[in-house]
Amino acid sequence: MYNGKNGEYFEISEVTSENCELLKQSKQSALSLIWFESDGNRITIDTKEHTFNTNTIVCLTEFHKIEVKSLNKAKLLRFNRPFYCILDHDSEVGCKGILFFGASNLPILNPNDKEEDLLKTVWKMLALEMESRDNLQLEMLQMMLKRILILCTRIYKNNEGFQKLASNSIGIVRDFNFLVEQHFKEKHGVAEYATMLHKSPKTLANLFKKLGDKTPLQYIQQRIMVEARRLLNYSEKNISDIAYDLGYNDVQSFSRFFKKQEGLSPLDFRNNNA
């Protein structure tokens, strides 16, 4: 683990069933990569259970709520904003709105053999550098972290079909995702984001159609639902307060929206997960 003089924090760890509580520890402004090294790892993230197998990588922020059902073996990489701020250095790694702060998507990566070999090589160098104690260690660790983030961003883009888009179009999608992450509680319509991006709603719809089946509106709605599930399952707030927090003027409107998306009322969802 690296702890710097100005609050910088960076760690890489081996995680097993015996120390899997590491994954649940939430550190302020921390971002994490979990790289699974075995099959059959069952983890619930924001009330949704996932099974992660060998060489699958998942990217998480401090806001994800994690429950470990079963875990065999994984690598954990975690760093905070003082160590390396992906927002300030977006031009260097390009992962904002893709690996992190990407609206409703949980970024899950499945590297091919070549990508896996590259990641393993950089990770091995990173582990060696963690043992250094000279005045260049911070710069070296940041450099290797950037390499890992760039590699993971490329893998995710290939997995999700971003190669179908021109580079300027990828930028629009990333900016849309990040804006949704910032404003989903008060802005629920595509037109509001299109205005901020100086694009038309139709332009956004056409871009997302090239990527897959989800529309821009579905991305917005799914991000609202992620937060709604978190608040219903992990907070003591009453449903009317949750509705207000998410930008709904009355609990009835929120309940109709939630039931349409989830198939359950907010109260039934909360009771089922109690």
- Where a domain ends, among 144, 160, 176? 160
CB 24 within 8 Å of CB 76:
no
| Strand pairing report for 2-3 and 41-45 | unpaired
Percent of the chain predicted with pLDDT > 70: 99
- pLDDT > 90? residue 114: yes
Tokens of 129: 């550098």
Among the candidates 160, 192, 218, a domain finishes at 160
Q: Are 74 and 202 found together in one domain?
A: no
Domain encompassing residue 205 = 167-272
- For residue 142, what pLDDT band results from cuts at 50, 70 and 90? very high
Q: Is the pLDDT of residue 183 over 70?
A: yes
pLDDT in tens, 117-135: 999 999 999 999 988 888 8
- Considering the domain architecture, whether residues 195 and 228 belong to the same structural domain is answered as yes
Angle of the 113-129 helix axis to the 137-160 helix axis, nearest 10: 160
pTM to 2 decimal places: 0.90
On the question of pLDDT at 145 being above 70, the answer is yes
> What single DSSP character describes residue 161?
T
* Rounded alpha-carbon distances, angstroms, from residue 206 to 210, 221, 223: 7, 18, 20
Number of domains comprising the chain:
2
Q: 21 near 47, Cβ under 8 Å?
A: no
Distance CA 224, CA 243 (A): 10
